[in-house]
Structure 1
Amino acid sequence: MKKNKSSITLSSLCAVLLTLSASFGAVSKEYKTILIHGFQPQQLINAAGSNVESDGASYWSSYWGRLSDERIDWPSYERIEGKIATDWIWPKLKQFSESKLCEAGCVLVTHSTGDLVARYIIDNQENWLSNAGLEPLNIVATFDIAGAGGGSELADIAVSALTGAGDWSSIIDRALKWWLGSDVTEAVGVLHDLKVNNARRISPVPDDRAPRLRFVAEGDDFFGATKLFLKGKDDGVVALHSSCGASAVESFESCSRSIATDGQITSQSDGVQGFMPYHFPMIMSDNYSHNNIRNAAHKGNVTVANHTAQIGGRAVSFQTVDESSGYWFWKKHYRFVANSNNLSASELIYSAIP
């Protein structure tokens, strides 16, 4: 591929700045970061033996745990609008308000089903805290990584199969074993909330206008076992209609109408056209999967769906590098986030938090 020389220089400078930024940790950030993890299927196997706080810490241990200010942990064997809200979300919101954690602003960093949990929080926290005589949290944005706020078709087939409402086949068995683990025998808890229609009914239009920035993967850890059940392109667990934040459940190929998930600059007739309120896809990559995009490891280049977004009066932006390959009619043009050939997706996302 042919690179623009000035872009190489910019990329090198970004590498130094981003590395230095990460080394200072969360204290260097203007906004506090609160982590909200995703679905943890092992908790369905042994609910009584689960340690929710320990599982939450382990979930983020590869990268984000050492950089965040707080976490909201929750058990996957419960429902979002039930005990997850009353027994796990509410005590943390009360703690954050009383300690004035978010006085200058907080960013919720979510992964997978954490996206759906965050939407429920955004829709309700002001009312809950005000009714308790407490100051509502100043949530300036969410950074949603591989977001499952639009639900997953895998949850639909899991609930159907595990409750006996649908046929069980060897193909379904293989998909569920890859996703849930071979010991899950009962459809409980947040699995029901993750069904596509159910997920999209939970706080669909929050009054709070905090922008929801999306970070999207399109790789796969499951050797294609789950892709048969997901609409359009996906990350192995959620389809792009969910991770991009699309307002419609359709077979999308990209979060953008002008750039593919692999970075190729070309018209995307099957790109997302409409989004849920205040949802803005930022970076995409076909090198990362649903699970590894939240981790520390570098997997390859990422591209942009949007270069810049505004949160709390501050800009979140990603510099890009244009490259080309091939000749004549076979020549293709690509756009990548500067230095994404060196830094992991998580490092790039963290560096963008003001």
Structure 2
Amino acid sequence: MSLPDKQQYHLRRGQIGDPENPHRDIMKKLGSTGSSAPSMESDHSKGLPPEFKGEEESTKSWDSSSVSTYSVSSGRDQCDVCSHTAVKTCLTCMASYCGTHVKDHYTSPDLERHQLQNPQDTSSKSIIRRDIPPPGQIQFTSVQTDSVSLSWSPPEGAPGPHRFRVTWRGGEKQHRMVVAGLGLKVTGLIPGEKYNFAVATLGEDGYQSSCVERSVHTEVPPPENLTVDSSSSEASVRWTKPAGVDQISYLLELFSDQICIGSIHRDYPNYTIPDIQPGRDYTIRVTTVLSNGRQSEPSSQVFKIGIKYMIFMCLSTMDISALTALWMLNVG
């Protein structure tokens, strides 16, 4: 399902039209003096420019129709111009920059006025202005084991274009970014984890609206490669652990005629079911169970042990013109 009005990750700050100078459009909105910042650091408190370690600029195409994407697999904030690790966050631009793209904040007289912080030091609390309308409610358009796609509608009564601050937390980690479109795809998430998302409209002066919030659990992957090998009276069940999950167990359930006739929890991906009746249809279901209690959809397999027939024959009478025989059928 396509998301409306989406932009590439490196366009999400509204830096459109000049990839050589990504700060230009931000400065047009904020003004050359940077006087809209809530507070300013002195040249001394800003510290030395971070060391540049030879990161190359992104060569991704500037496609304004695609969805913004953010990966949290590295556990670090990303640059809002390219996809490299951010080393500084500008509280005036409301953007994060890598070693390459933050250099202008130390050389440009206009940008030197801006307030910089380390990404991990940036406060999650922003100044809210009630006259800035919030975006529409969050909708989750796709929820997978390691990713979530969400969208929202533009704020009512406020002509665009708009920028939005998206904040999400899973466990003890929190991430933030600013997007210029109406949707975001976050990858690198943990299966079965609860994530809380909040979206706010950003004003041109760095203030924001109140947040709209919504929570979702990522999907739990089911067991893989489920097989059943049956013999005369038992069935050997095997499967493989799903990728990307740790500290899991499995719930096995045995069904016959759509009725559960037995269940068991296992820590290992195998089990032998005893006392299977020949000629009867069975269904085995195996479910992944995480340490937090979240469960996957079950993997299932139907099996049946065939009926063996044995015939015993003996001669009763025999003469020249006729043969009489008796036999007995043994089902087992």
Q: Which has the higher contact order (CA 8 A, sep 6+)?
A: 1
TM range (shorter): under 0.3
TM-score, length of structure 2 as denominator length: 0.25
Higher helix share: 1
Larger Rg: 2
